[in-house]
Amino acid sequence: MISKEILNDTDAVYNFMDGEKVLGYLEIRLVDGVLDIMNLFVNEEERRKGIATSLMNEVIEKEDYSRIMLEVNEHNDEALRLYTKLGFTEISLRERYYGEDTAIIMEKVK
C-alpha cells in the first residue's frame, strides 16, 4: 500500500508500506508546478520488486505538475533505467556533484 504524508505546503513523502513497515519512500517538493524528486529509497532486501516504479507512478498519476525534475548519479544504472523507462530525459550535467561523480539532471514534462 502507498500512503502520502504531507510535510508542509511544498513537501510530501509517499511511503510504500507492508502493514506497519515502510519498504520504500519517495520525497517530493512541488513549487510553482515543478515537482522535484528529492529522494527515492527502497530497502535493500526489497529492491527489484517494483516498489520504486510503483512510487514513481503514484506521483506521476496523482500530483499536479507541469514537469518533474530529478538528479541521479551517473553510475546509478538501475535508477537511470527506471527514469528512462518512465519517460524522463537528460537535460544537463553537474560535474563532480557527487564527489568525483557527475549528476545527470533529468526531467519529465506532463
- Can you give the residue ranges of every domain in the chain? 2-109
pLDDT for 52: 98
Res 109 pLDDT > 90: yes
22-47 CB burial, b ≥16 within 10 A, e <16: bbbbbbbebeeeebbbeebebeeebe
Q: In the predicted model, what is the mean pLDDT of the chain?
A: 97
pTM over 0.75: yes
Hey, what CATH class is 2-109 in? Answer: alpha beta
Distance (Å, rounded) from C-alpha 43 to C-alpha 22? 8
Q: pLDDT-based confidence at 12, cuts 50/70/90?
A: very high
Tell me the per-residue pLDDT of 49-81, one tens digit each, with 9 for 90 and over: 999 999 999 999 999 999 999 999 999 999 999
Beta strand pairing call for 21-31 and 11-18: antiparallel
Q: pLDDT-based confidence at 23, cuts 50/70/90?
A: very high
Res 97 pLDDT > 90: no
Angle at 25 between CA 23 and CA 28, to 5 degrees: 175
